[in-house]
Amino acid sequence: TAAEATGHPHHHTTTVAHRGASAYAPENTLAAVDAADELGIDWVENDVQRTKDGELVIMHDTTLDRTTNAEEVFPDRAPWKISDFTLDEIEKLDAGSWFSSRFAGETVPTLEEYMDRVSDNHQKLLLELKAPELYPGIERQTLRELRHEGWLDGKHRKRLIVQSFNATSLRTVHGLRPGVTTGYLGTPAVEDLAQYAEFADQINPNYRTIDSGYVAAVHAVCGPHGRPLEVFTWTVNDGPSAVSVAGMGVDGIITNKPDVIRDALDDL
Ligand code: G3P
Ligand code: CA
């Protein structure tokens, strides 16, 4: 390829739409998945949590108030924890108007609806287990839903990464389904990387915490599948920062503005 010919490793950098293309559509909605698709971005990131009645839904915060009209619809239910509301209640909420009136009526997707849309668009999924310590058993439940939708079949393996800030939870995912690609969110000390490599294929750090030495140290360790650990870094929203981390050798860039990042990398 041109990238190999010119020796520019950044041409292989994967661009991931963070919470969907969340600069252009309300985060973690189907509209944000479609916005990424319309930009030609095939990887989307989301956050999975669980309702009071045990349904998996897509939202970043552990409370409903920032990204829906929950305060208006349920004024006496502060602090609007996801785990205090049934799916029926959550489906009554508007998850788009806070972002722009253009997205009025957008809803909080279930994991199943979300995966269906990603599949329909032929996209790939970087699924985050968000605050799994609040939801005992969410690892097994999430993997079960993924399996039912065919996401754990051999041919789809390359379309799915499960990530978390919670190392215990990620270790559980790896133990239950060792074939699934996993990413640990954080910046472990270099001397601890071998421990993470028991259950994580990726180390996914805040881009402000890394340099080329750190990225090289991560790449020098092999993960549970015998491949060098990868680095997907977040949340990079401007071209110069993307060029900088690409130069450090990161494998992926997680961004709210995937078009901006892709264009910056294309210009290298
Ligand atoms: O994908 C990385 C990033 O999503 C981690 O931080 O807070 O946006 O979930 P946060
Ligand atoms: Ca996330």
Residues with C-beta less than 6 Å from any ligand 1 atom: 18, 45, 47, 60, 128, 185, 234, 254
Number of domains in the chain: 1
Give the distance (Å) from ligand 2 centre to CA of residue 47: 5
Catalytic residue flag (residue 148) = no
Question: Which residue CA neighbors atom 3 of ligand 1 most closely?
Answer: 234
In a domain, 101, yes or no: no
What single-letter amino acid sits at 113?
E
| H-helix or E-strand spanning residue 144 | helix 138-148
- For the cut 50, the answer to whether the pLDDT of residue 2 exceeds it is no
Position 199 in a domain: yes
Residue 110 scores a pLDDT above 70: yes
Assigned domain for 88 exists: no
pLDDT above 90 (res 4): no
- Residue 28 in contact with residue 20, Cβ under 8 Å? yes
Q: Is residue 91 part of a domain?
A: no
pTM of the model: 0.95
Question: Domain for residue 77, yes or no?
Answer: no
CATH number at residue 246: 3.20.20.190
> Does 148 reside within a domain?
yes
Distance CA 31, CA 120 (A): 13
pLDDT of residue 156: 83
Domain that holds residue 194: 2-63+109-266
Ligand 1 atom at minimum distance from 204 CA: 2
Rounded to the nearest angstrom, the distance between the alpha carbon of 235 and the centre of ligand 2 is 10
The pLDDT value recorded for residue 248 is: 98
In a domain, 71, yes or no: no
Q: Hey, which bits of the chain come out as E strands? A: 14-17, 43-50, 56-58, 124-129, 160-164, 181-185, 202-204, 232-233, 252-255
Q: From the CA atom positions of the chain, what is the Rg in Å?
A: 18
Task: Check: CB of residue 193 under 8 Å from CB of residue 217.
Answer: yes
pLDDT in tens, 202-261: 999 999 999 999 999 999 999 999 999 999 999 999 999 999 999 999 999 999 999 999
Please check whether residue 78 lies inside any domain of the structure.
no
ipTM: 0.98
The mean pLDDT value of the chain amounts to 95
